[in-house]
Structure 1
Amino acid sequence: MAPDTTPQDRSIHLPVMRDEVVERLAPAPGDVIIDGTFGAGGYTTALLEAGATVIAIDRDPDAIVRAEAMAARWGDRLIVAPGRFGALDEHASERGLSSVNGVVLDVGVSSVQLDTAERGFSFRNAGPLDMRMGLDGPTAADLVNTAPERALAQIIARLGEEKRARAVARAIVQDRAKAPFETTDQLADLIARVVPSARDQIHPATRTFQALRIYINRELDELADALGAAERILGEAGRLVVVAFHSLEDRIVKRFLADRTRVRPGGSRHMPETDIPEPTFSLVSRKPDLPGEAETRRNPRARSARLRAAIRTAAPARPVDPRVLGVPLVPELEGWGA
């Protein structure tokens, strides 16, 4: 999830940790790799240049237009798949593939989405309060204008980790009684009145905007779905690479890999063998890869990135429980969520 950033960074659309992603995926000519979050196509381009065939998935219609334009150059080695990355295994099987060699996920909102004011993702760019990745379903304006105060507070607290979530929700409900929220700057200004400025200079609206966006797009549940889908579609020795930008996302990835790489301890007559399934992945590295200083200077949005990678074993895939992975439990509002 690319974090919101300062105005001078708005034109930057650089793929975060591109070299590290390619190194961990180790693409070879003839490999089939799923880029579950095409975005601006940075990873896809690098993989195509390495000789791989890429299935490029994105739920954003604007990203699909960019991918289709690229396909004119790469021909049948670039397969464009509109839709959700949570169903990435279905995208592959629908195209006649029973397994793939790699899966890469760059989780969350893209820099292009943040920088397009009309999409309403950023409080730094005045625009309609939208935030929908797929351009369908309820908007952020719909959510803040109709959700009960308690539900809003829980969403903001659990998905944004905002300590003053109750105060923000209360202020939203009070202000919407006078006039509905319609724009990003209207909501950001209200939050700035309620949440004190942080010492780290993060804008007071950062966490609330994150929470609303995650809720509307069902991002964390989608991530859990995608990890399970990757486990199902990766062939033996296939590689999974995930780049996350926020602790909520990275925790889900970390817990999934920790569960999937656990090794069954040997038993003895005093301590019977523990019933742990065979590991479905092996870790490439126990610690995440971090962006280098040169990259963070060139692209400040890379600062919070964490890359985790694992290699698929031959063990059968297992069901995924989003709550076990740490996906926060939030109110189910009728007609909400993607």
Structure 2
Amino acid sequence: MTEASTSVRASSYLADASRPARERHVPVLLSECLDMLAPAIGAPGAVLVDATLGMGGHTEGALERFEDLTVIGIDRDPQAIALASDRLERFGARFRAVHATYDHIDRVIEEQCGPGSRVDGILMDLGVSSLQLDEADRGFAYSKDAPLDMRMDPTTGPSAADLLASASEGEIVRILRTYGEERFAPRIARLIIRRRDEAPITRTGELVDIVRSAIPAPARRSGGNPAKRTFQALRVAVNDELTILERALPRALASLRVGGRLVVEAYQSLEDRIVKDVLRRGATSAAPPGLPIVPDEMAPSLRLLTKGANRADQAEQDHNPRSASVRLRGAELLSEWKDNS
């Protein structure tokens, strides 16, 4: 997360909560994602798992383009499930929504498709959704004063306010450094502890003021809102995002049929690094260099579909500003998944 972006997935700048989901949500790199998945999901009876459903923009595009496709959509946010289900109701049984974190993708596929089933494609569009960012009371946005929550599933687990109320100064420093790459983490953590000793920190506006006060004035003059790294770090910690991604990737690859494809959109560097490392290992032979014949069990499991990561061009960014930081990677499963780490 070196850029400390807001890690927005599949979203547009339309933030009016009164609009229907399809008017509030423009999926990032939709055509590119579907083109990459097409060889795997274009056949009759194909199944795609949208592991990060959000408001359903990618799923809607896939169901419209591939008329015999079924999509299983996973999301941890009950509000996202409700909005996407309403948006996709016209597709009937071709769409199924599951409330879960996407590191349970293998269990979800087994429950939806039967024991031992494999799917044809998997799409992961990582980070916080436009739904969560655009609704102020969710507490994700540093630009809006709201309760300091940040839970993607607001029905479970501690909020960001709970975390700041209980974490030690050292733990806060670790979170800000690890997940936000915040160079002023010790100063911010020290001031958080001082302020919470006076009164609980329960509002996003209070946290923004703390961060602004802790960061030296010269550093506040560039790089956008000085609170963005702190908010990113707390959100990642509250939702355990990187651990879930690390668990989900191998489970997803093990759930693909041979010839199936995984496509991932990441919006900040720590997520993208995890994706890159898993795909690179899968695409690398485990055989010693110079071995004349590579045994099947040592051959690569994956063929990479991108050289490096694809980025949004200027036209996409102009149409959808939240695509500016996206990194798109994909891989095709060549043989049963094995992690050559």
Q: Common fold, TM-score beyond 0.5?
A: yes
- CA offset digits 1:96-142 (Å, max 9, x no partner): 34010100001110111011111101111111000001111100001
- CA offset digits 1:290-330 (Å, max 9, x no partner): 101111112221111000000011134449xxxx8xxxxxx
Does the 8 Å CA contact 1:264/1:275 hold for their aligned counterparts?
no
After superposition, the Cα gap between the structure-2 partners of 1:315 and 1:119, relative to the gap in structure 1 and judged at 3 Å, is same
Q: 2:316 maps to which residue?
A: 295
Does the 8 Å CA contact 1:115/1:125 hold for their aligned counterparts?
no
Is the counterpart of residue 158 in structure 1 residue 178 in structure 2? yes
2:87 and 2:308 mapped to 1: Cα distance? Answer: 34
Q: 2:104 maps to which residue?
A: 87
* Structure 2: tracts of 5 or more residues without a match: 16-23
Deviation at 1:200, TM superposition (A): 4.6
What secondary structure is seen at the aligned counterpart in 1 of 2:27? coil
What secondary structure is seen at the aligned counterpart in 2 of 1:177? helix
Q: 1:280 maps to which residue?
A: 301
Deviation at 1:274, TM superposition (A): 10
Q: 1:13 maps to which residue?
A: 25
Q: 1:57 maps to which residue?
A: 74
Is the counterpart of residue 245 in structure 1 residue 267 in structure 2? yes
Does the 8 Å CA contact 1:57/1:80 hold for their aligned counterparts?
yes
Q: 1:37 maps to which residue?
A: 52
What secondary structure is seen at the aligned counterpart in 1 of 2:28? coil
Q: Tell me the number of residue pairs that the alignment of Structure 1 and Structure 2 aligns.
A: 317
Deviation at 1:31, TM superposition (A): 1.4
Q: Which moved more, 1:188-197 or 1:240-249?
A: 188-197
Partner letter of residue 328 of structure 2? L
Partner letter of residue 137 of structure 2? E
Deviation at 1:92, TM superposition (A): 0.8
Deviation at 1:13, TM superposition (A): 2.8
Matches within 5 A, 1:1-338: 3=6, 9=13, 11=15, 13-26=25-38, 27-28=41-42, 29-50=44-65, 51=67, 52-97=69-114, 98-135=117-154, 136-196=156-216, 197-198=219-220, 200-265=222-287, 277-318=298-339
Deviation at 1:218, TM superposition (A): 0.6
Percent pairwise identity: 39
After superposition, the Cα gap between the structure-2 partners of 1:179 and 1:10, relative to the gap in structure 1 and judged at 3 Å, is farther
Q: Which moved more, 1:280-289 or 1:231-240?
A: 280-289
What secondary structure is seen at the aligned counterpart in 2 of 1:94? helix
Deviation at 1:264, TM superposition (A): 4.2
Partner letter of residue 31 of structure 2? D
Does the 8 Å CA contact 1:231/1:280 hold for their aligned counterparts?
no
What secondary structure is seen at the aligned counterpart in 2 of 1:113? helix
After superposition, the Cα gap between the structure-2 partners of 1:23 and 1:199, relative to the gap in structure 1 and judged at 3 Å, is farther
Does the 8 Å CA contact 1:123/1:185 hold for their aligned counterparts?
yes
Deviation at 1:71, TM superposition (A): 4.4
Deviation at 1:153, TM superposition (A): 0.5
Does the 8 Å CA contact 1:59/1:82 hold for their aligned counterparts?
yes
2:295 and 2:209 mapped to 1: Cα distance? Answer: 55
Name the structure with the higher helix share. Answer: 2
Partner letter of residue 212 of structure 1? L
Q: 2:20 maps to which residue?
A: none
Deviation at 1:72, TM superposition (A): 2.6
After superposition, the Cα gap between the structure-2 partners of 1:54 and 1:273, relative to the gap in structure 1 and judged at 3 Å, is closer
Q: 1:329 maps to which residue?
A: none
- TM-score of the superposed pair, with normalisation by structure 1: 0.87
2:245 and 2:320 mapped to 1: Cα distance? Answer: 24
* Structure 1: tracts of 5 or more residues without a match: 325-338
1:78 and 1:152 mapped to 2: Cα distance? Answer: 41
Q: Please, what is the CA RMSD of the aligned residues?
A: 2.4
After superposition, the Cα gap between the structure-2 partners of 1:292 and 1:200, relative to the gap in structure 1 and judged at 3 Å, is farther
2:46 and 2:295 mapped to 1: Cα distance? Answer: 37
Partner letter of residue 306 of structure 2? S
